[in-house]
Amino acid sequence: MTHTGNPFGQVLVALVTPMTTEGEVDWPAVEKHIDDVITAGADGIVVTGTTGETSTLTDAEKIRLVEVGKDVAAGRAKIITGGGSNETAHAISLYKASEKAGADGIMIVTPYYNKPTQAGVLTHFRLVADATDLPVILYDIPGRTGVPIAYETILRIAKHPNVLAIKDAKGDFSEVSRVLNQTDLMYFSGDDSNVLPHLSIGATGLIGVTANIAAQPYRAIVDAVNRGDLAAATAEHKHLEPLVRAVMTHVPGTVSAKYILHGLGRIGSPRVRLPLVGPEEWEAAKIEDELALVRGVPGADFSNFRPDRNAAAGGALPKVSGTTR
């Protein structure tokens, strides 16, 4: 299938998966949170990605997140399914089910743990992309997978008609420029602190964790870059800096984002699934110190911030029967 234009959006939220205090997915909270971030300016939602705790979601939960996302978005934003699997056959099965559930696109992460060669990475991407008619974003995050997508591999997979974009969490700006010069691929910033630098060299948009808390400033940054107003984009970038530091520096982004959203009263629990746990006392204190520096960020008013460190402490196992796969 030929995909024209940008089928993903520009301001994409790497969505957290709200959970109950028992560690089950809180479906009403999922619906509310998706609606909140779309209302704040997101035009794309990545469910079941790293931030959504894909490693500890069941396959059934992953598919339902796509279905719920489509229902809530109601055409206002694209729903992209992330995660996949480091087993190619399992990844294909998940993405086919996600396509059937209504996903607008898929994000394929480099196979993790196996540490495949570049030939293996390329074959994995090709087979998954062959198995779907949906547009594909590749996810390059060697800090988590242990394997980068090499420049030469990117050039080869870019020829696949379904592969349209890359989410870059590698931070090699010279490589991004080379790929943009040599291919028609779109780039999405996968590092919240580098959104503006990525956009300034030609990236299409972002897939952000901090956007769970404040999507509106990212909308403003992207819109400013689109109209060539670097001064306005830079001002928004500076306002966001302490919030990005609070979310991305001290604990995994999933943990801090849920801690902050709960403190703002926007989700009912900050729970994450083991082996993730909530911030320890000293980590929570560091996050709150950063939040005290946030000024002028729409959607991030911390004057009534009420964190519950006891609620965030520890993790929870999901109450599911049988295997999670």
Positions marked catalytic: 139, 167
CA distances from 114 to 50, 52, 94 (A): 18, 22, 19
Q: Coil, helix or strand for 216?
A: helix
207 known member of a binding site: yes
For residue 11, the 8-state DSSP code is: E
Q: Which helix (H) or strand (E) holds 28?
A: helix 27-39
Q: Is there a cis peptide before residue 318, judged by omega within 30 degrees of 0?
A: no
Largest CA distance in the chain: 54
Residue 251 corresponds to which tokens in the numbers above?
Answer: 């604990």
Which of 224, 196, 200 is CA-nearest to residue 208? 196
Q: Which helix (H) or strand (E) holds 65?
A: helix 59-73
158 Cβ contact list (under 8 Å, min separation 6): 179, 183, 184, 185
Residue with tokens 């700006």: 173
CA distances from 306 to 53, 103, 227, 264, 314 (A): 24, 35, 38, 6, 18
CA 55 to chain centre: 14
Q: Where are the alpha helices (DSSP H) in 249-313?
A: 253-263, 281-291, 309-312
21 known member of a binding site: no
Residue 283 corresponds to which tokens in the numbers above?
Answer: 């980590």
Q: Directed axis angle between helix 59-73 and helix 27-39, to 10°?
A: 40
- Binding-site residue numbers for pyruvate are 51, 207
